Structure 1
Amino acid sequence: MIARVLALGALLVCSTAGFADDYRIGELLISQPWSRELPVELPGGSAYFSVHNQGSQTDRLIAVSSPRAAKSTLHTQAASDGMMSMQHMPALDIPAHSEVTFKPGANHVMLSGMEQPLKAGEHFPLTLQFEKAGSVEVQVSVLPADAQSGPTTPHIH
């Protein structure tokens, strides 16, 4: 019986180790921040997550920062005349009762001037500054280079 309990405990520890975290600040829920491992020769990266505004007022993401990058900025990627282009965004509205998703090929946080490349399995801090809700620091999980989307199992802070 004790062996079964220990085995179950070990299984639970192993299964929860890969869970992504969710973070709450005010009426906002930031879900599953993640990034991709990058080749050594690339000095930058991107971070992705979702912001759920459960409140009755629009908030605005006005700044991002990370000690892993010399510069962190909001970007969006869009097609125009058959060409993909990336554009800097000074801020991004998070409408009331809605969700804004940061994902590859769309809205993302651009991380520039990184001294060390991102490696699968590590985590790094990213601070999100909202106009109304304030600042929250999230831990970004770095996934393997072939990851198409972020983690899928939430754990709320």
Structure 2
Amino acid sequence: MRRALLPAAALAGALALTGCGSGSDSGSAEAEVSVSSSYMPQPVSADMAAGFLTITNKGGVKDELTSVTSDVAGQVTMHSTVGGAMEEQNSFAVPAHGQLVFKSGGNHLMFEKLKHKPAQGQKVTLKLTFAKSGPVTVEMPVKSATYNPSTGH
């Protein structure tokens, strides 16, 4: 009797593992975006401000940032900087298992037609819209006009 139970138990275990294995790639088959290191230097202009952040995609499929909106601005545009020249972009790729970085001197967000001038210590709410992932809401802190993330000042 004991010999008959052993193969039955082994078969049941194998079937259970087979069921678990059928969706083994499901976690990496979609984009999985998150946002970190967001900040806005306190604007020096009454009608325009810049914003910076890092978007990380831990998923196995690339995604695309298609738009950014904020209740503090009439519009938010996305820009790349290549060779010192700023160029507006309609979207940015967020690579699978990679990052999209918006930083001073590189890719950045422009908050245009400000409804009020954000002050240091406040937070600005923005909504990032992606082609594949759901929208992500970010609370972006307003830092000093001379803030440098590498020094924290």
Asked whether the two chains share a fold, i.e. TM above 0.5, the reply is yes
Post-superposition shift, 1:86?
Answer: 0.9
Counterpart position of 2:5: none
Contact 2:118 2:124 in 1 (8 A): no
User: Out of 21, 28, 33, which is 2:33 matched to?
Assistant: 28
Distance in 1 (alpha carbons) for counterparts of 2:46 and 2:90? 24
**Paired residues for 1:117-132 under 5 Å:** 117-132=117-132
Identity %: 25
Counterpart position of 2:69: 65
The reply on whether 1:49 has 2:53 as its aligned counterpart is: yes
How big is each residue's C-alpha offset from its partner over 1:95-153, in whole Å with a ceiling of 9 and x where there is no partner? 1011111111111111100032221100010100011102111101000011022797x
Amino acid at match of 1:100: L
Counterpart position of 2:110: 110
Give me the TM-score of the superposition, normalised by structure 2.
0.75
Counterpart position of 2:82: 78
Query: Which of the pair is proportionally richer in helix?
Result: 2
Contact 1:34 1:150 in 2 (8 A): no
Post-superposition shift, 1:51?
Answer: 0.7
Count the aligned residue pairs.
Answer: 122
Gap regions ≥5 residues in structure 2? 1-30
Structure with the bigger RCO (C-alpha within 8 Å, sep 6+) is 1
Counterpart position of 2:18: none
